[in-house]
Amino acid sequence: MVLFIIFCPIVAAVLIMVGAPARKTALTASVLTFAATLYLLATFGDGEHGFQHVTSFTISPEWRLSFTTGIDGLSLIMVVLATIVTVAAVWFAGTVERYENAFYACLLFISGGAIGAFASIDLFFFYAFHELALIPTFLLIGIWGSGNRVAAAWKITIYLAIGSFILLLGLILLYQSFPPAFRSFDIRRLTVAVSLGQIPADAQHHIYLLLLIGFGILVSLFPFHTWAPEAYASAPASAAMLHAGVLKKFGLYGLLRLAIPLVPEGARHWTTLLVVLLLGNIIYVGLVTIAQKRLDWMLGYSSVMHMGYIFLGIASATILATTGAVVLIFAHGVSIALLFAIAGELRRRTGTLAFDELGGLARIMPFAGLAFGFGVFAAIGLPGFANFAGEIMIFFGAFKHGWTMDGFHIFQIATVLALWGVVISTVYMLRAYRKTFMGTVSEQWKQLVELRPTLRVPVTLLVGALICCGFFPQTFVRMVAPTFRTYLTANR
């Protein structure tokens, strides 16, 4: 079933490229993949350690290289996120004026690459599947984007290529740091070797720094964040949904899957650096977001800003905060996909996303206004939505990590500053909602019509995921917590 989920979108993309009906094939493949993921979710054994549904094919015995896939609680949530957003992104793509087959094939390659990276237990394919998803991103922005799309496409390509190269150096150094008897591409074997003390602390410092920079660039960690807002503002709505909602989470997943369990001493050594950088995401980028005058740029910067909360949960290295980080990864992926979907539909109908040219659209598009409002409320952490559950776990977990009898610890200071970030995000999100959907309707927009009934299906799917996870976050917690208990303690 895991192999089916990985290769269904990839095979469908190949079929589309050789002439299969683009939209029908892409939508069928995405729905089948989502249905298979729901089956895995229903049959997943909560509370069990290790990977389930493992499949392995030996490729090179002398290199100990195998194509190995499987899921645990962490990877399953990432796969669920990827399949939900894929269905919504393909559904919202609609009719493409030129190169329709190539457009839908690119969307499916991004989805298949992301799912393959999340479900891979082998380091080689973990990296290779992510690289598979990067090339279509460049094409989607450069060919089907808007505004200064060519410059945005080259900028995101250069940044992500540099990040991937640094990440590759870190992975090679990680592999070489193990004694020959313990070298393997299998993440499970590497985790066991680390528990036996096979990597010296000094080596871990260099490895973790490379992994942090590599993954950080891919996630838009401050100050390597400037590629993201411009790319998302120029990208087609479906491409922005998939990259901001799913593919950008690869770096966060990599830190949780590789960096913390395999080089824990390195993670401790560079904790202060990560805390300083993540505060740049929350405070500096948050203030820049307030200054934006276009909806698409505001959403792009807000996506960068919210990565800071997830980095705070990862840096704290407590079970509560890291579990909250995973919940927030899922919540942010769904909420930002919802917001980019509505924004893309508005741009298609009005030709602009400038705040000064919009206003009052909720009067003529009440369903779109309601859906966008749900996305806004989720993004600012309103109770009842998944984002609130993730953020509150991160704040409590990070603050607990910094508890000392002598005074404020760096994590307590970071948590207090991050709480001000919630205020900042509330300001720019509510202002954007008011300027776009509230107020007086301009004469030129009075001819607009409500979202078609077919488009309400993916919107309802995304909103339903946010609310279900918001009211029942314990479902995700039971799946994720066992993954972290193997190398984290409740008080660390």
194: enclosing H helix or E strand:
helix 187-195
Asked if residue 97 is part of any domain, the answer here is no
Q: What span, in angstroms and rounded, lies between the C-alpha atoms of 454 and 221?
A: 37
Q: What is the pTM of this model?
A: 0.91
Task: Answer whether residue 491 shows pLDDT above 60.
Answer: no
Q: Grade residue 90 by pLDDT with cuts at 50, 70 and 90.
A: very high
Instruction: State the residue range of the domain holding 285.
Output: 270-492
Q: What is the mean pLDDT of residues 210-236?
A: 90
Tens of pLDDT, residues 252-263:
999 999 888 888
Asked if residue 264 is part of any domain, the answer here is no
Asked if residue 279 is part of any domain, the answer here is yes
Task: Answer whether residue 328 shows pLDDT above 90.
Answer: yes
| Phi then psi dihedrals of residue 291, to 5 deg | -80, -5
Q: What is the mean pLDDT of residues 428-449?
A: 85
Q: Which long-range contacts (CB under 8 A, 24 or more apart) does 447-453 make?
A: 448/349, 448/350, 448/361, 448/364, 448/365, 449/364, 449/365, 450/364, 450/365, 450/366, 450/367, 450/368, 451/345, 451/365, 451/367, 451/368, 451/371
Percentage above 90 pLDDT, the chain: 40
> Is residue 80 within 8 Å of 489, Cβ to Cβ?
no
Q: What span, in angstroms and rounded, lies between the C-alpha atoms of 426 and 437?
A: 16
- CB contact set of 274 (below 8 Å; sequence gap of 6+): 212, 311, 314, 315
Task: Answer whether residue 285 shows pLDDT above 50.
Answer: yes
Tens of pLDDT, residues 333-379:
999 999 999 998 888 888 888 888 888 888 888 898 899 999 999 99
Q: What span, in angstroms and rounded, lies between the C-alpha atoms of 287 and 101?
A: 40
- CB contact set of 169 (below 8 Å; sequence gap of 6+): 210, 214
Asked if residue 479 is part of any domain, the answer here is yes
Q: Grade residue 166 by pLDDT with cuts at 50, 70 and 90.
A: very high
Identity of the amino acid at 14: V
Q: Grade residue 301 by pLDDT with cuts at 50, 70 and 90.
A: very high
Tens of pLDDT, residues 30-87:
999 999 999 988 888 765 667 888 888 887 777 777 888 888 888 999 999 999 999 9
Q: What span, in angstroms and rounded, lies between the C-alpha atoms of 12 and 104?
A: 9
Tens of pLDDT, residues 259-282:
888 888 888 888 889 999 999 999
Asked if residue 122 is part of any domain, the answer here is no
Tell me how many domains the chain contains. Answer: 1
Task: Answer whether residue 490 shows pLDDT above 50.
Answer: no
- CA 223 from centre of chain: 18
Which residue, 235, 219, 245, is CA-closest to 332?
245
Look at the alpha carbons of 286, 288, 293, 299 in this order and tell me if their dihedral is positive or negative.
Answer: negative
Identity of the amino acid at 12: A
Asked if residue 407 is part of any domain, the answer here is yes
Q: Which residue has the tokens 């859906």?
A: 371
At 49 the pLDDT is 65
411: enclosing H helix or E strand:
helix 410-437
More confident residue, 140 or 402: 140
Q: What span, in angstroms and rounded, lies between the C-alpha atoms of 483 and 473?
A: 16
At 181 the pLDDT is 78
Helix (H, G, I), strand (E, B) or coil at 184: coil
Q: What span, in angstroms and rounded, lies between the C-alpha atoms of 159 and 161?
A: 5
Asked if residue 377 is part of any domain, the answer here is yes
Identity of the amino acid at 459: V
Task: Answer whether residue 407 shows pLDDT above 60.
Answer: no
At 221 the pLDDT is 92
- DSSP structure class, residue 67: E
Q: What span, in angstroms and rounded, lies between the C-alpha atoms of 384 and 377?
A: 9
Asked if residue 436 is part of any domain, the answer here is yes
At 337 the pLDDT is 93
Q: Which residue has the tokens 């299998």?
A: 186
> Is residue 378 within 8 Å of 395, Cβ to Cβ?
no
> Is residue 298 within 8 Å of 291, Cβ to Cβ?
no
Q: Grade residue 492 by pLDDT with cuts at 50, 70 and 90.
A: very low
DSSP E strands in 124-216: the ranges are: none
Q: What is the mean pLDDT of residues 467-479?
A: 89
Helix (H, G, I), strand (E, B) or coil at 249: helix
Q: What span, in angstroms and rounded, lies between the C-alpha atoms of 379 and 306?
A: 9
Cis peptide before 383 (omega within 30 of 0): no
At 33 the pLDDT is 93
Rounded CA Rg of the chain: 21
